[in-house]
Structure 1
Amino acid sequence: MKVNTQLLSKNVGQQIINTDNINILDLDREEIINLFKSYGFLLFRGLENSVDTFTQFTNSLSKDFLDYTGGVFNRRVINGNATILSVNDFKDEIKLHGEMYYQQDIPLMLWFFCAHPASQDGETILCDGRQFFNELSSPLKELFSKKKLKYVGHLNKDAWQKQYKTNDLKVVEQTCIRNNLLLQINDDESIDLQYICPAIHPSRCGKYPTFISSLLPAKHRYKNTVFFEDNSEITDDIVSELNEVADRITTEISWQAGDILMVDNTRIMHGRRAFSDHQRDIYLRLCSPAFPF
């Protein structure tokens, strides 16, 4: 079935519109793939989707689903499927970020499903990391090109058991090795973690520099968890400029029930506005594309 679209923002993001009362599973797969590769994220709206159709649709375009092992937020499992997770650990704002960019093994693609929108606020925000890089001042482009980021964390025993879904430190150690995380195990069985990575990455085609990281939420929510690799501070002036760029180029998704959002996690940063409605219910899947990427 041919896909009807409209642009969500300048040069990035497309909205797939249901003009013929069709089923999402009948949409042209190759057209969806081509749009996704071109625009970075797609919003599927008005298709009367349920959790079951969300699961079927995402299964048809994805592989290697992750269960969020190593992730820093609490996620509620939906319908007993460990790869379908809630995102409502708390109601505060989350700054723009790439998903799980504090470790090496990131999901290449993200899916979101709106089971129940907030009565107001709680919009998901998105921006193109290519455009973000282009909007940076020359001094910041040079700074982030020269200096990598260092994420650090301390987890007590209860915290790492929850985050890594195990009570076996050997399993944690193997996970850290696979993710290029420096692990220190302390006498009280707490752990310290360290991960070094760039904030600027080449695009998949290698033609464009892309700014994508977990820097902004780390600075916003957690003290003393991200620095430059040489341990120098990421100053408030730097963060202010990054937030100013983010505010200028961000696209908002005001959720409607049944919406599905498909996101390229190698290019598009996402976040959300704060909300107060406890009934807001958005689900997430982390995966890789089941097509050449």
Structure 2
Amino acid sequence: MNMTIENSEDVKPLGQDVICHAPKESSPLLFIEPAGELLQSRHAFIDWVASHRDVLDKLIITHGGVILRGFPVRETEDFGAIVGVFPSYDGDYLGGLAPRSQIAGKVMEATRLDKNAKIRLHSEMAYMQSFPPRVAFFSKKTAHTGGATIVADTRGLFESLPSDLQEKLETHGVMTVRNFAAPTGQLEASVPHVDLRGWNVAFETEDRDEVTVRCKERGLEPIWNKDGSLTMVNHTAAVVKHPQTGQKLYRSNLHIYRVNSNMAGLDPEIIQRLQETQERPSGTFLGNGEPLTEEEALQFTTHLDKQERAWQWKDGDVMIIDNLQVWHGRNPFEGSRDVQVAMLG
């Protein structure tokens, strides 16, 4: 059930050409839909986004994100025009965790991770020192069954943790270990585990020296293994302040991306084989090298499970979220699915 909020003071500046509503079940997202035929023209809609961008910026902060539904967004080019209205993320995705490729301009695939896997709630690029403040998604083709996007408002997560755990996070930060396989061919259409990608695919080069340079530019420590694989170690803050609101927010995969954990419900045989062959298995630790205890990890997942909300994509939907305040993920699906993504400033 939806709650119409078109008379709310924060949405009034959007004008009479749209209707705004929010799901009643405390979803952090604000849905915005056309109120008539005027914005069914692609040109008129892009102009509307551009002329109301300052209002949309504020709504993304207030609600954690917006979903533009029912507008003339059908192709990657349409999505590219929308995200082109917003400032771009000034970094890139080289060495990123998700198996994905560039489509056009700043638009990328969401992921090629196996469709049977549930992608747990996360902040985009939480394992990197540099990360996009906002992330935009476009559902070009919705899955026939499943594939719902999951979201969660994380603005109360840090405060929900015991004081001693809060202190640990702020004092030690996070150390992340990630692995890439020895050079492989092109990215497979479906990837059973992120650690099976070759480092040449993740960094878009066959030159080890170039990879080393790119790692160091991003604050990553590259470790080259005897079998030709690559291990990367990096340190990040576990808690950051939101640049607009000033609120402290937890930003890490520390609670789920742990050695011996299966964060996406992947094939356990693949997990075991990787852990047996990797010289330094992938995982996330406190900055002093200690893992979270099971009890500590449960503090995070208990809160996130309560906050998790699912909503079904419709073809043409565009979602823009505040990457610090709202986390996202994906449920497993059947059939084909084409969701695209762009990193925004």
Amino acid of the residue matched to residue 5 of structure 1?
C
Match of 1:286 in 2: 343
Aligned CA distance change for structure 1 residues 228 and 180 (closer, same or farther; 3 Å): same
Find the counterpart in structure 1 of residue 202 from structure 2: 163
5+ residue gaps, structure 2, are 1-13, 184-197, 265-270, 272-280
1:263 and 2:321 equivalent? yes
C-alpha contact 1:96 1:217 (8 A) present in aligned 2: no
Partner of 2:247: 208
Whole-Å Cα distance in 1 between the matches of residues 83 and 122 of structure 2?
Answer: 22
Deviations 1:246-281 (A, max 9, x none): 011123231111100001223322112222x13122
* Alignment gaps of 5+ in structure 1: 289-293
- Deviation at 1:67? 5.4
SS of the counterpart of 1:145? helix
Matched residues in 2 for 1:134 and 1:67: separation? Answer: 31
CA displacement at 1:224 relative to structure 2: 4.4
Structure with higher Rg: it is 2
Secondary structure in structure 1 of the residue aligned to 2:296: helix
State the match for 1:291 in structure 2: none
Work out the CA distance in 1 between the residues paired with 2:145 and 2:114. 16
2:30 is the alignment partner of 1:17: no
The alpha carbon displacement at 1:43 in A equals: 0.6
* Contact 2:27 2:309 survives alignment (8 Å): no
Partner secondary structure for residue 63 of structure 1: coil
Q: State the alpha-carbon separation in 2 of the partners of residues 45 and 205 from structure 1.
A: 26
Instruction: Report matched runs for 1:1-293 at 5 Å.
Output: 2=15, 3-8=18-23, 10=26, 12-21=28-37, 22-23=39-40, 24-25=45-46, 26-27=48-49, 28-51=52-75, 52-64=77-89, 68-78=93-103, 80-81=104-105, 83-91=107-115, 92-158=117-183, 159-205=198-244, 207-219=246-258, 220-221=263-264, 224-275=282-333, 277-288=334-345
Q: Aligned partners of 2:58 and 2:344: how far apart in 1?
A: 18
Question: Are the counterparts in 1 of residues 94 and 204 from structure 2 also a CA contact under 8 Å?
Answer: yes
Shift of 1:66: 5.8
CA RMSD of aligned residues (A): 2.4
The total of aligned residue pairs comes to: 286
What is the CA-CA distance between 1:41 and the residue it aligns to?
A: 0.8
What whole-Å deviation, never above 9, does each CA across 1:161-205 have from its counterpart, x for those lacking one? 111111112221222122111122345543221111122111113
The higher relative CO (CA closer than 8 Å, separation ≥ 6) is in 1
Q: TM-score, normalising length from structure 2?
A: 0.75
Between the aligned partners of 2:106 and 2:243, the Cα distance in structure 1 is 28
Tell me the amino acid that sits aligned with residue 201 of structure 2: K
With normalisation by structure 1, the TM-score equals: 0.87
Mapped partners of 1:241, 1:175: distance in 2: 35
Equivalent pair of 1:183/1:191 in contact (CA under 8 Å): yes
Larger strand percent: 1
Partner Cα distance (2:298, 2:231) in 1: 29
The one-letter amino acid of 2:327's match is M
